[in-house]
Amino acid sequence: MTLEELIIQCKKQNATAQAELYKRYSNTLFSICLKYSPNYAEAQDNLQDSFITIFKRIEQFKGKGSFEGWIKRITVNTALQKYRKKRAFDITNEDQIEDEDVEVEDTSLPLDFLLKIIQELPDRYRMVFNLYILDGYSHKEIGEMLGISDGTSKSNLARARMILKQKIEIYNKEQL
């Protein structure tokens, strides 16, 4: 079944088509959920909530633009909405931190190590880091998505970079 046919069937609430759509996109969307969730269990919950939203709103997809982009956006927003409710971003005086580049000399770090240390970042830092570095959003866009100021977004990114740099330095010393 083509993607267009699958979408049409999902709009008709066809359970077989919904299962197929889930099968096609669950791995891709789960990787997004992992980026924005503090642990595996919450990532699974966010994936489930994302598909519920996708199936509820599939009528709104009119075929303009990428379907995959549309469902990815829903997934990111679903994960972020949970953290906005928790007020994980309420931090005072964050605007005072300067955003400075952190240089990492060794680019041969294992991918599983990098993913682990990013996952270990506090929620507010991990969210901003992922949105800015991995997904390419601007600080203004991040501020709007998370309900924080541009300056808070910048300072959270700077703090995330500092934490990651420290963990990488410790890792490199342990490898000697």
Residues 70-112 have pLDDT tens digits of 999 999 999 888 877 765 444 444 444 444 454 445 557 888 8
- The topology under which CATH files domain 3-86 is Rna Polymerase Sigma Factor; Chain: A (1.10.1740)
Residues 106-146 have pLDDT tens digits of 557 888 888 889 989 998 899 999 999 988 999 999 999 88
No. of helices (H) and no. of strands (E), the chain: 8, 0
Angle, helices 139-146/150-174, rounded to nearest 10 degrees: 100
CATH architecture assigned to 94-174: Orthogonal Bundle (1.10)
For residue 176, how many C-alpha atoms fall within 13 Å in the half-sphere facing its CB? Answer: 6
Q: pTM of the entire structure?
A: 0.73
pLDDT exceeds 50 at position 167? yes
Give 88's DSSP letter: T
Residues 10-42 have pLDDT tens digits of 999 999 999 999 999 999 999 999 888 888 899
How high is the pLDDT of residue 109?
A: 83
7 within 8 A of 58, measured Cβ to Cβ: yes
Q: Distance between CA atoms of 119 and 63, rounded to whole angstroms?
A: 34
53 within 8 A of 74, measured Cβ to Cβ: yes
